[in-house]
């Protein structure tokens, strides 16, 4: 199952440390790994990134601490008959999208759209319009009122290589379930450098000098000390935290899927989320998504795995009686028109700490696109 040239022990240990402790300095990582110099850690990081094993660091944003008004993500899963490219171009008119994922075809083509949500009814109006006009056949809307939790692969268990294909007989074992709730907003307005850093850092630009250069090109000049102080304020208030995406194999060789699960109780659902694939070579992002139409809450995992695990998963899931309801979506990769971007603070009001998106303008853009681009 493994490649003839798999990772060596130092590389596995480094990836595991980056996933578990993304804020560690190269000096500290060198000490933990028993390496002589921090420069060698930097060399290893660069090599692993170039080979497709890691992305980061980028920064996750706690929207509860960031805004006074309720901000979350709405996730629309839509079914359609048009081409992926047509729907992709259409969805980009909802300019506050977070990500657009194409899903493998079944009876209909499908997209998963994550949208920054300050007004759910306004978002729903857009998709109701598309359904009424026949552009989409059906859609389901889910709401994420909590933070995303990242669990990176385990490469070594007691000095032995971790499995790519974990058993699923542990789903209801006792396990630590961390809190997923958003933090609380404090009445402290964001400065212009803080606003800029949130957007840059969420999308993966983690160097202050890079942010300085990009803002300087826009005529926004601040000293390095001001940028550094802005980052420290955001970190100390826990508005943003560093994270790496660590892949079990080079990213182009992995499978990507979303798995929705619902247990007998909320506690069962949470246990299953955190036990699924535990101590294995599997990357997970964990969410709680609530159906807007039914109020039913699902534990959701975005997983990046060895292809063998994805192939065997449906058979394994059918034998898991602990899961009362499940949904499974494989991400389409070749070709894969997808896009992701960070939150924009163009509409942020520092005096009130609020941000509301102009959904009416997005609705008009979607409407114009449909009228000018018949399918």
* Torsions phi, psi for 296 (to 5 deg): -80, 130
List per-residue pLDDT tens for the chain, 375 residues long. 444 457 999 999 999 999 999 989 999 999 999 988 899 999 999 999 999 999 988 899 999 999 999 999 999 999 999 999 999 999 999 999 999 999 987 778 999 999 999 999 999 999 999 999 999 999 999 999 999 999 999 999 988 999 999 989 899 999 999 999 999 999 899 999 999 999 888 877 778 888 888 888 888 889 999 999 999 999 999 999 999 999 999 999 999 999 999 999 999 999 999 999 999 999 999 999 999 999 999 999 999 999 999 988 988 888 888 888 999 999 987 667 778 888 989 999 999 999 999 999 999 999 999 999 987
Taken in order 334, 338, 339, 340, the sign of the CA dihedral is negative
H or E stretch at 216: helix 208-217
In a domain, 45, yes or no: yes
CA-to-CA separations, 104 to 89, 131, 289, 333, 335, in angstroms, rounded: 18, 21, 21, 8, 11
**Which residues form the domain of 7?**
1-51
In a domain, 344, yes or no: no
- Gap between the Cα atoms of 190 and 348, Å rounded: 9
- Name, in order, each residue with C-beta under 8 angstroms of 281's C-beta and a sequence gap of 6 or more: 153, 154, 155, 162, 163, 164, 248, 306
Q: How is 7-41 classified by DSSP, letter by letter?
A: --HHHHHHHHHHHH-TT--HHHHHHHHT-S-HHHH
For residue 269, the model assigns a pLDDT of 95
For residue 2, the model assigns a pLDDT of 44
Residue 289 · residue 300 · CB < 8 Å: yes
Identify the bridge partners of residue 241 per DSSP, sorted by sequence position. 60
What does the buried/exposed string (b/e) look like for 335-344 if buried means 16 or more CB atoms within 10 Å of the residue's CB?
A: eeebeebbbe
In a domain, 123, yes or no: no
For residue 5, the model assigns a pLDDT of 59
* Torsions phi, psi for 83 (to 5 deg): -70, 155
- Gap between the Cα atoms of 44 and 47, Å rounded: 5
In a domain, 9, yes or no: yes
Helix axes 38-50, 9-20, angle to 10 degrees: 90
In a domain, 283, yes or no: no
For residue 334, the model assigns a pLDDT of 67
Residue 101 · residue 331 · CB < 8 Å: yes
Reading the block at residue 87, the tokens are: 């729907």
Which residue pairs, CB below 8 angstroms and at least 24 apart, start in 292-296? 292/74, 292/120, 292/124, 292/141, 292/142, 292/143, 293/140, 293/141, 296/262, 296/325
CA-to-CA separations, 330 to 247, 257, 264, 351, in angstroms, rounded: 17, 4, 25, 43
In a domain, 95, yes or no: no
For residue 204, the model assigns a pLDDT of 75
For residue 335, the model assigns a pLDDT of 61
* Torsions phi, psi for 3 (to 5 deg): -75, 150
Reading the block at residue 189, the tokens are: 């307005």
For residue 59, the model assigns a pLDDT of 92
In a domain, 345, yes or no: no
Number of domains in the chain: 1
- Gap between the Cα atoms of 22 and 321, Å rounded: 36
CATH number at residue 44: 1.10.10
In a domain, 335, yes or no: no
């Amino acid at each position: 199952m493994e490649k003839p040239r798999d990772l060596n022990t130092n590389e596995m240990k480094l990836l595991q440390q980056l996933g578990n402790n993304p804020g560690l300095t190269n000096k500290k990582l060198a000490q933990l790994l028993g390496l002589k110099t921090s420069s060698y850690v930097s060399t290893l990081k660069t090599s692993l990134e170039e080979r497709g094993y890691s992305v980061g660091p980028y920064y996750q944003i706690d929207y509860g601490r960031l805004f006074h008004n309720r901000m979350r993500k709405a996730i629309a899963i839509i079914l359609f008959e048009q081409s992926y490219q047509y729907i992709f171009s259409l969805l980009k008119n909802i300019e506050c999208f977070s990500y657009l994922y194409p899903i493998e075809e079944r009876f209909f083509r499908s997209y998963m759209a994550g949208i920054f949500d300050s007004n759910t009814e306004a978002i729903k109006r857009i998709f109701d319009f598309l359904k009424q006009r026949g552009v989409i056949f059906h859609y389901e809307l889910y709401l994420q009122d909590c933070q995303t939790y990242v669990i990176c692969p385990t490469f070594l268990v007691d000095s032995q290589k971790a499995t790519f294909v974990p058993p699923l007989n542990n789903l209801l074992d006792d396990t630590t379930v961390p809190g997923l709730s958003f933090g609380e907003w404090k009445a402290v307005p964001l400065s212009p450098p803080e606003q800029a850093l949130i957007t840059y850092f969420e999308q993966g630009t983690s160097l202050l000098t890079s942010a300085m250069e990009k803002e300087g090109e826009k005529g926004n000049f601040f000293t390095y000390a001001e940028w550094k102080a802005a980052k420290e304020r955001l970190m100390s208030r826990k508005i943003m935290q560093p994270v790496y995406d660590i892949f079990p194999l080079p990213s182009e060789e992995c499978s990507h899927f979303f798995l929705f699960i619902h247990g007998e109780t909320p506690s069962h659902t949470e246990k299953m989320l955190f036990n699924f694939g535990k101590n294995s070579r599997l990357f997970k992002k964990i969410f709680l998504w609530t159906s807007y139409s039914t109020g039913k809450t699902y534990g959701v995992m975005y997983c990046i795995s060895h292809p063998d695990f994805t192939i065997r998963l449906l058979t394994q899931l059918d034998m898991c009686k602990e899961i009362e309801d499940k949904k499974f979506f494989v991400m389409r990769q070749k070709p894969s028109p997808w896009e992701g971007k960070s939150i924009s603070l163009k509409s942020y009001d520092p005096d009130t700490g609020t941000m509301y998106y102009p959904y009416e303008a997005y609705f008009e853009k979607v409407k114009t696109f449909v009228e000018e681009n018949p399918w």
